[in-house]
Amino acid sequence: MEHTPRTSRLRFLALLPASALLLAGCATDQGESDSTTLTVWHYFSEDTQVGVMTAYEEMFEASHPDVDVENVFVPYDQYTSKLIAGVGSATGPDVVVFNGGEASTLALAGTLAPMTEYWDSFADAGQFPDGVVHRIDGEVYMAQGYVNLLGLWYNQDILTEIGVEVPTTVDELTAAMEAAKQAGYEGITLSGLSQGQGEWQAYPWLSASGFTWDNLDEAGLTAGYELVKSWVDAGYLSGESATWDQTVPFQRFAAGGVAFAENGNWQQGTAASTAEFEYGVAALPIGDGGQVYLGGEAEGIGAFSENPDLAWEYLSETFYSAEGQLASLEGSGTIPSRLDVAEDEGVTGNPLLAGFAESVARNGANYPPANALPESVSDLQLLGGQMWSSVISGQLSPADAAAQLIEGVQPFLR
């Protein structure tokens, strides 16, 4: 048969309907066999924390074979910007896992869906203390599957060598650091970064000196700043801490040669894998008046999730379930937020968690502070971090930093 352009064209046209049917059939098959994807944004980079996210993914996929959970890592510094940028295009993840301290920022920016109805009908809601449920304008937007807080990590080998006990007061801590320094060790590591992480680490020492966000005592604040400045001047704390986030100082502690570290319960995995010395954790020696933020990541449903019901199921079966919280405890040493799980032997029988548990009971404080304006939480954290960093580096005297903070923070508080 002769192939002319005309016959070729006719053949092509004749094939079109068949191709369309074939493609439609394929699309239908594809659609029927496709699983639903549930996107979960997080900013975890530590292996232990990533491991927990993977465990949750497997848990949920096992009970929902038609669902594909996709964990997406978004760097902490870009997380909020990306979420807010997504508001314009009405896009975003199904599940948001982010710093609970910034829940109000995310909610006010319209990146989260209210989950009050889900929460109110959640049978286990009563197991969660109020402090871990983030409400803005009466709506529940996020809740925490666990609590993170700071404690005093100590190098038992060094303490044994210099012959001191684990300190229970600031004076004892200072004396222990002096003894450690005399023996050739570094006293303490902590974060002095000029942003929220610095503010988070500063608050226990500042509150121990009499300053709190609902009692803006300038003399107490000055005393708190003078305390940390005296540590730098005496050589117990490196001035370099003014540039450290919370990861660097713990790596330095875990490498050995440092007596103490102010750091969190989430570092248990790093300690176990890195430290080649005997270590322990005690409550920060800040007396009864000192306060330690009860932080940790909070979880919520993305404002533009196409499957909010499924997102809620994921949350209630992982982060908010007893099984999920135990998995997180085992995987990365987090402290469960559920009252029933907090009584589990995994918590009460873990000597490392005992120090943190003591802090929760004695010094636990809301994070962010209850009297901070929801839209000003970030301002408060940044200002607090900058002043802390300024004092450590010597940019500002303790008195000047205290005066600047007291003056600058007024518009951010109720």
Partner 1 sequence: MSTRALSTTATGRTSRRGRAARWPYILPAAIFLAVLSAYPLVQLVRMSVSAVSSRTLRDPWEFTGLDNLMRGIESGDTGAALLRTLIFVTIVFTVGMIGGLAAALALRGRRGSSGFLLALMVFVWALPPVVNGSVWKFLLGDAGLFNELARTVGLTDTAIPFLYDQHLSLISVALVNSWAVVPFNALVFRAALMGIPPEVIEAAKLDGASAWQEIVHILVPSVRATAVVLSVLTVVYAFRSFDFIYVMTYGGPGTSTVTLPFLAYLQAFVRYDFGLGAATSIVAGALVIVLAIAYARNVRKEEAA
Binding residues for partner 1, rule: CB under 8 A, are: 80-81, 84, 87-88, 105, 108-110, 192-195, 238-243, 375, 378-379, 382, 386-387, 389-396
Q: How far is the CB of 133 from partner 1 (least distance, A)?
A: 21
Contact of 122 with 316, CB cutoff 8 Å: yes
Contact of 221 with 202, CB cutoff 8 Å: no
Helix 218-234 vs helix 170-182: angle between axes, to the nearest 10 degrees? 10
Q: How far is the CB of 116 from partner 1 (least distance, A)?
A: 19
At CB < 8 A and 24+ separation, what contacts does 289-292 make?
Answer: 289/207, 289/208, 289/210, 290/204, 290/205, 290/207, 290/208, 290/363, 291/203, 291/204, 291/207, 291/212, 291/363, 291/364, 291/365, 292/149, 292/150, 292/203, 292/204, 292/359, 292/360, 292/363, 292/364, 292/365
Q: How far is the CB of 15 from partner 1 (least distance, A)?
A: 36
Q: Which is nearer to partner 1, 20 or 255 (CB)?
A: 255
Other beta carbons within 10 angstroms of residue 168's beta carbon come to: 15
Q: How far is the CB of 402 from partner 1 (least distance, A)?
A: 14
Q: How far is the CB of 270 from partner 1 (least distance, A)?
A: 19
Q: Which is nearer to partner 1, 133 or 396 (CB)?
A: 396
Q: Which is nearer to partner 1, 225 or 319 (CB)?
A: 225
**Sign of the Cα pseudo-torsion (122, 128, 130, 132, in order):** negative
Contact of 196 with 381, CB cutoff 8 Å: yes
- Encoding tokens for residue 377? 């939480």
Q: How far is the CB of 104 from partner 1 (least distance, A)?
A: 10
Distance in angstroms (rounded) separating the CA atoms of residues 209 and 221? 7
Q: Is 107 helix (H, G, I), strand (E, B) or coil?
A: helix
Q: Which is nearer to partner 1, 242 or 281 (CB)?
A: 242
* 69 closest CA partner among 35, 112, 97: 35
Distance in angstroms (rounded) separating the CA atoms of residues 218 and 221? 5
Q: Which is nearer to partner 1, 291 or 376 (CB)?
A: 376
Q: How far is the CB of 43 from partner 1 (least distance, A)?
A: 15
Q: How far is the CB of 128 from partner 1 (least distance, A)?
A: 26
| Element (DSSP H or E) covering residue 179 | helix 170-182
Q: How far is the CB of 127 from partner 1 (least distance, A)?
A: 31
Q: Which is nearer to partner 1, 105 or 174 (CB)?
A: 105
Q: Which is nearer to partner 1, 286 or 377 (CB)?
A: 377
Q: Which is nearer to partner 1, 71 or 389 (CB)?
A: 389
Q: Which is nearer to partner 1, 184 or 394 (CB)?
A: 394
Helix 377-393 vs helix 196-208: angle between axes, to the nearest 10 degrees? 70
Contact of 262 with 150, CB cutoff 8 Å: yes
